[in-house]
Amino acid sequence: MRKFGRFLLWSFAGLGALVVVLVVGLIVIGSKADDQPELPDNFALMLDLNRGVVEKRNAVPLEVLEDDRGAYLLRDVVEGLERAGGDPRVKGLVLRLGNSGVSIAQAQELRDAIFAFRSKGKFAIAFAESFGIVSNATVEYYLASAVEESWLQPSGELALTGLTLEIPFFKDALGNLDIEPLIGQRHEYKGAAESLTRAGMSAPVRRSMESLVDDWYRQIVEGISAARKIPVGKVRALVDGGPYSANAAKRVGLVDRFAYWNQVELEVARRLVSGDKTDAKTDPLVSLKEYRDDSDAPEGNGPKAALITAEGTILMGRAGRFESDIIASDDLASLIFEAAEMDDLKGILIRIASPGGIYTGADTVWQAIQLAKKNGKKVVVSMGGAAASGGYFIAMAADRIVAQPGTVTGSIGVYGGKLNLQGFWEKLGVRWDEVHVGKHATMWSMNRGYPEGAKARVDRLLDQIYEDFTAKAAKARRVSTDAMDKLARGRIWTGKQALAGKLVDRLGGLKVATAELAKLLGVPDTEKLRLVPMPAEKSRFELIAEFLSGDIDAGLLLAAWRVGPIANWRRAAGPILRDLNTLAPPVGRLQLPAFRLKR
């Protein structure tokens, strides 16, 4: 007993020491936030995209410990490149690539920003130790092709090999466990449920997936062709000939130069030499954070509009204190209501990056946008990597929808049901007994099948949700219900395909969406719309104070969940866990299948 007490004592002491170190570390980092070195007169902006790119910052304050090593906010990168394009001190751009994990739509948004930067007469270099290491780097190279020079370490490789979409199927595994999936879908292209009900893709879902990957591939090939000035047919042949060693990649014209990172730094310093005034001790590369901290963002001289980011799976209710990777319907609706009531905000720009989620949650946000419009606000949606199913349900309420050519959207349909675990429990020797009142009281219990007549009611619910979804979409997009049904039925589209089908209005990213909102508001070309992030971005000190005022142990656990090896595993398993996590009743899942682009 004494040993156990001693163990507890030391455990609490260790936890207390960890908290003290954490608090001191956070305060020290926060205190350094304003201590920025003066930037040189000539420099190149450096972006290490291998850190990753995200739509929204996580709410866990522990992540400030990563300082300038965490993932970039996509909006910060785009705005930073736009600002640097007009800054005479910034002579060029250096990208570190190879393992950024960006989506195709994110790659397109970054490519647009890089091309705009280069149009100001500034150089741009991409460096990779390797474009993929026993992995697919086709999207990575597509992004790199936006620069004028691609440099590769001599020992690296270029894994330009095409695209693969993978979907896991659990029917046989569930059968081995005597678990019976009782799930319906509307309609034949709504493949999210098939991971549990089939051993492979149905013919309609396969056609939908093939259409998606074929259009992505076409966009990538044409983009590389235009940027590298290589005929489309030859690019296709080069992809089929991959992967390449560094020597082979240079020989076929896919990379321009061999170098190690220290040689890149020396070359950039050489290019920045201005007469004899160069200071050899000056670092020629300035990080995005250093640059943004040093230079003031242009405020603009036009009206203000709210900028709201909605990223993650759509759920009902409100998010927990440190939950930032979900779209909590009440939280998002409240932000929209708040923006609608603010007289100084003339419009609302909503950035959506979501595979979908709960029908009622999406409908809550849809109604909030309708009320904002009735209150005189113009609303534009900018789609990220995906804004499909429930994500599209929200988007269709806007006055305008802007998507990247590679955005995953559509998936207008629904699925729902439950897993019957009765056989599984019996296999384990566990029996459930119950008492109930009401003919269908047990219909959502996962310990038995549907009672008599309940399956028909589930089917009726699915039909009603599908009819509501398609009717609202048809009205919003000004097409007939029959025409919308042909576009819907669960079918997935790229942004480019969605434009052809009139599901979206324009192709582009945040910059194009901002221009669309300015046009709706009648902002003249001589003025610039001012975007106001909602909720307001918190300083480091505010994050620290909020963290310390709450549950520190919970914060530590959540930080571990989002940072380090656990986070890496969670990101890899995310597409599968996302779908399994949405099987709890009630009926009404507006969500993409659990597919992933093979890296």
**Distance of CA 547 to CAs 26, 270, 282, 309, 341, Å?**
10, 45, 37, 22, 30
Report pLDDT for 135. 85
Dump pLDDT digits (tens) for 39-91.
888 999 999 999 999 998 765 555 545 545 688 999 999 999 999 999 999 99
Residue 207's Cβ-side half-sphere holds a number of Cα atoms within 13 Å equal to: 9
Per-residue pLDDT band for 289 (boundaries 50, 70, 90) equals confident
Per-residue pLDDT band for 33 (boundaries 50, 70, 90) equals very low
Dump pLDDT digits (tens) for 95-122.
999 989 999 999 999 999 999 999 999 9
- Among 174-178, 439-443, 573-577, which stretch is predicted with the lowest mean pLDDT? 573-577
Domain ranges of the chain: 38-161+242-294, 304-419+446-556+581-592
221-227, Cβ contacts within 8 angstroms, sequence gap of 24 or more? 223/108, 223/111, 223/142, 223/145, 224/141, 224/142, 224/145, 227/145, 227/146
Give the total residue count for the chain. Answer: 599
Per-residue pLDDT band for 546 (boundaries 50, 70, 90) equals low
Report pLDDT for 251. 96
Please tell me if the domain spanning 38-161+242-294 has the same topology as the one spanning 304-419+446-556+581-592.
yes
**38-161+242-294, which class in CATH?**
alpha beta
Q: What percent of the chain has pLDDT over 90?
A: 71
Q: What is the rounded distance in angstroms from the CA atom of residue 322 to the CA atom of residue 90?
A: 37
Enter the tokens of residue 366. Answer: 């849809």
Segment 211-216 shows an average pLDDT of 98
- Among 20-29, 297-306, 417-426, 436-445, which stretch is predicted with the lowest mean pLDDT? 20-29
Q: What is the rounded distance in angstroms from the CA atom of residue 481 to the CA atom of residue 474?
A: 6
Given a contact cutoff of 8 angstroms between Cβ atoms, the answer to whether 160 and 137 are in contact is yes
Report pLDDT for 549. 54
- How is residue 68 annotated by DSSP? G
**Distance of CA 41 to CAs 80, 114, 122, Å?**
17, 22, 15
> What stretch of H or E contains 346?
strand 345-354
Q: What is the rounded distance in angstroms from the CA atom of residue 466 to the CA atom of residue 472?
A: 10
**304-419+446-556+581-592, which class in CATH?**
alpha beta
Mean pLDDT of all residues in the chain? 86
Dump pLDDT digits (tens) for 496-521.
999 999 999 999 999 999 999 999 99
Enter the tokens of residue 51. Answer: 């850190």
Report pLDDT for 8. 52
Segment 536-552 shows an average pLDDT of 56
Given a contact cutoff of 8 angstroms between Cβ atoms, the answer to whether 406 and 107 are in contact is yes
Segment 169-197 shows an average pLDDT of 94
Given a contact cutoff of 8 angstroms between Cβ atoms, the answer to whether 124 and 158 are in contact is no
Dump pLDDT digits (tens) for 86-101.
999 999 999 999 989 9
Helix or strand or coil: residue 453?
A: coil
Report pLDDT for 372. 97
Of residues 221 and 31, more confidence is placed in: 221
Of residues 392 and 20, more confidence is placed in: 392
**Distance of CA 215 to CAs 163, 344, 366, Å?**
11, 42, 29
